[in-house]
Amino acid sequence: MTDEPALLAAQNAVHDLIARQAPLAQTLEAISHCIGIVHPGAVVAFMCFDPARCSLSMFPSEHFSASYFDRLQEVPVGSLGACFGAAAYLRRQVITEDIETDPRWEAFRAAALGEGFRACWSSPVITAEGELLGIFGTYFRQPAAPSETGKLRLRQAAALIALAAVRDRDSRRHRTLAESHRSLFVNHPDGVYEFDLEGRFQRCNAALERIIGYPERELIGHHFNEYVEPDARAFIQAAFDAAKAGDSRQYEARVIHADGHAHQLEITNFPVTSEGEIVGVYGICRDITRERNQEAQIAYQASHDLLTGLPNRAALDDRLEQDLEWARQNRRLLAVLHLDLDGFKAINDGLGYRLGNLLLAAVAERLHPLLGPRDTLARFTGDEFAFLMPALGCREEVAAAAERILATFEPSFEIEGRALHISTSIGVACSDEPVQQVHELLQHADLALDVAKQQGRNTWQWHRSKGARVVSEHVLLRHDLHAALRDGQFELYYQPVVEAVTGRIRSVEALIRWHHPVHGVVSPGVFIPIAEQTGQIIPLGRWVLCQACRSLAERVARGEHVCPVAVNISSLQFRRDGFLEEVQGILDETGLPPELLELEMTESILMGGAEQAIEMICTLRGMRISVAIDDFGTGFSSLSYLRDLPIHKIKLDRAFIQDILTSRRNAAIVQGIITMAHHMDLVVVAEGIETPAQQQELVRRGCDMLQGFHFSRPVPLTALMALPDLLPARPCPDPTAAADHQ
């Protein structure tokens, strides 16, 4: 007879243990006690199911010997695995009334009998979702069979065990998750913290203490606004409110560090929930102050001149567009003043770059007080500066501003105990001029600056609109030259130089052509002077030299028949520091033998210092590079320098050739030059040969080489390679195309 009150008390104890999430072993012991009340003398065992191995293993219990416990580890599930293996396999109760006679116990009979067991009733422990957790077994020391009520009690016990096992597993998972969460919270490299719903700190990790500079004990209970810059409080409060409402937000904000400095933080806020209810707000933050400072420094360096701290040309271009728009909207006059320091080069070269840099910084400092609230002062490069003044009312105010700039240079500059005197030339352009593109204002000011320098310097000059269409085209071409070099719009053409008598090709001259995307082919006679004015002739000349050497070197490498190539060098390029090293570097890079390169220069190279020019040409000859004087007779024309120049060739300008048949004076000059040159062992080339008669006349006068349309126009490299070695006479081309000889 079952003691119902005792059974009820035992069952309540089991439910209490499950509710309190007591250790599983304690709960199983309480369930065993319940079974003992229903079935006195029963010994209860629980076997855990391993789904990965599809096996059963006995749960530790003091009611079984160590040998029996070891025997019932990793028992395969199956119909022959005793009653417990069969119960797991069939997922229903399996009753063994007598272990001694049940064939399913063959493998475990000896072990069970050795424990003194004769009967075993096994019930599967299955969750409400149908998951098999294990087997609940009841052993007896004599053969026995359960009643229907007993079977029901066993199924109820199995259900209690399933509930206890699930709660135990969930509890362990929760503890593991909680520990992982705690470890992540404590050891996270970023600052992690928790607010209550009012925005007060509840806890934080060591990383936040380091980032914000306060220990946790000083933060707890304080509102986050106490550590935020006032201007950012409303923004951060909105992000906090969004997280409190169930959203997550990532943003940047400046907070006040314990040292008093503002630090830039990258912050993420998200809600803290408990059983579906939002109970607080989590935050994760990372100090990005150094990153933002570096980005700001990079941005500053990209838009400012590091020597003077002024905006640079790129920043000025951006500001110019904004200022022009503002001036037009507010009906004001935008003035652009381009300054170039007079006499700076002599100071920089004579006293050294360091003193020159100090002077430039002093100029910037002296000009700065002249700025109005909307004005911009920028440094271009070298000794050039520019003012943007977008808020002027009329041209009289512009003129007054230019005069104030000139006046500020009147006192000397005291640099390291030296009194240095410099002035400035100023070119002025205004937005009341007709312009199609904003950058034209800068270019107009640049043109006006050239005029100011021509007028003697230390003055200012308006941009004049006379010939506006031509000037505008030139201004736009100045701008387009930058893009042309970048986008590969240039191409080299080649014109042969032939023996006067035979027509045999002896060399070629490389001539640049510009394929403008809008204007088509632009004549070198137009863009070369512009490039010389702007200094763009330097990269342009370098490109021509490199391209000519590379193309010829490739032909040499292929074993093709080649002849020397002549490249025109401007006086600016020739006088530039490092020119000789640049030529040698291009020869080394392309692999062109130096004896296949000829450099053509005009007599203007002598005007920058004849002795230095002679020394440089001697160096070039020592490098096995030939040098020719181009357009001879139209420039410096000093016979004493011609005597000393280590050149091997002179080229007669076409101006002497075109009238050689009709002008006795021209013919006499040509004959005199040829005779003189031959006495000096120089080769003479006549340019601009367009007719057979001109060829015959120059052959008669003893000219060595000829060049012109009569033999070949300038042609691309592919067409040049198709020319025969001997060029026969051919009809004179259209005279209107003669300018194409450039």
Write down the residue that tokens 């007993």 correspond to. Answer: 150
In angstroms, the CA 661 to CA 676 distance is 21
Domain ranges of the chain: 4-175, 188-292, 306-465, 497-741
Q: How is residue 386 written in tokens?
A: 């520019």
- The reported pTM is 0.43
Fold designation for 188-292: Beta-Lactamase (3.30.450)
Sheet holding 191-195, edge to edge: 201-204, 191-195, 277-287, 262-274, 249-256
Angle, CA of 557, 559 and 561, to the nearest 5°:
115
Q: Mean pLDDT in each 10-residue stretch from start to end of the chain (742 residues)?
A: 65 69 73 75 88 90 90 88 90 92 92 93 88 89 88 82 78 64 71 87 87 88 85 80 83 86 87 81 87 81 84 89 90 93 88 91 94 92 92 90 92 90 92 81 90 84 62 61 86 94 93 89 83 82 94 92 93 86 94 95 76 89 93 65 83 86 89 91 93 93 94 91 71 38 38
SS3 content of the chain, % helix, strand, coil (to 5): 45, 25, 30
- Contact between 384 and 338 (Cβ < 8 Å): yes
Cα–Cα distance, 150 to 162 (Å, whole number): 18
Q: Which residue has the tokens 């998972």?
A: 173
Q: CA 366 → CA 24, 363, 377, 403, 409, distances in Å? A: 86, 5, 11, 15, 8
Q: Which residues pair with 627 in a beta bridge?
A: 599
> Given phi > 0 = left and psi -120 to 50 = alpha, else beta, which region is 730?
beta
Element (H, E) at 381: none
**DSSP E strand stretches across 249-382:** 249-256, 262-274, 277-287, 333-342, 376-379
**Where does 497-741 sit in CATH, by number?**
3.20.20.450
Q: Which residue has the tokens 């160590």?
A: 66
Helix crossing, 353-367 with 344-351: angle to 10°?
Answer: 140
The CATH superfamily of 4-175 is GAF domain (3.30.450.40)
Q: How many residues in the chain?
A: 742
User: For residue 734, what pLDDT is reported?
Assistant: 39
Find tokens 């052993």 and name the residue. Answer: 139
Same CATH topology for 306-465 and 497-741?
no
Secondary structure of residue 56 in the 3-state scheme: strand
Neighbouring C-beta atoms of residue 476, cutoff 10 Å: 17
Assign domain 306-465 one CATH number from 3.30.70.270, 3.40.50.800, 3.90.850.10, 1.10.150.170.
3.30.70.270
Return phi, psi of residue 72, to 5°: -100, 40
Distance CA 603, CA 637 (A): 7
Cβ neighbours for 735, distance < 8 A, ≥ 6 positions apart: 690
Q: What local confidence, expressed as pLDDT, does residue 1 receive? A: 52
The backbone torsions φ and ψ at residue 28, rounded to the nearest 5 degrees and listed phi first, read -65, -35
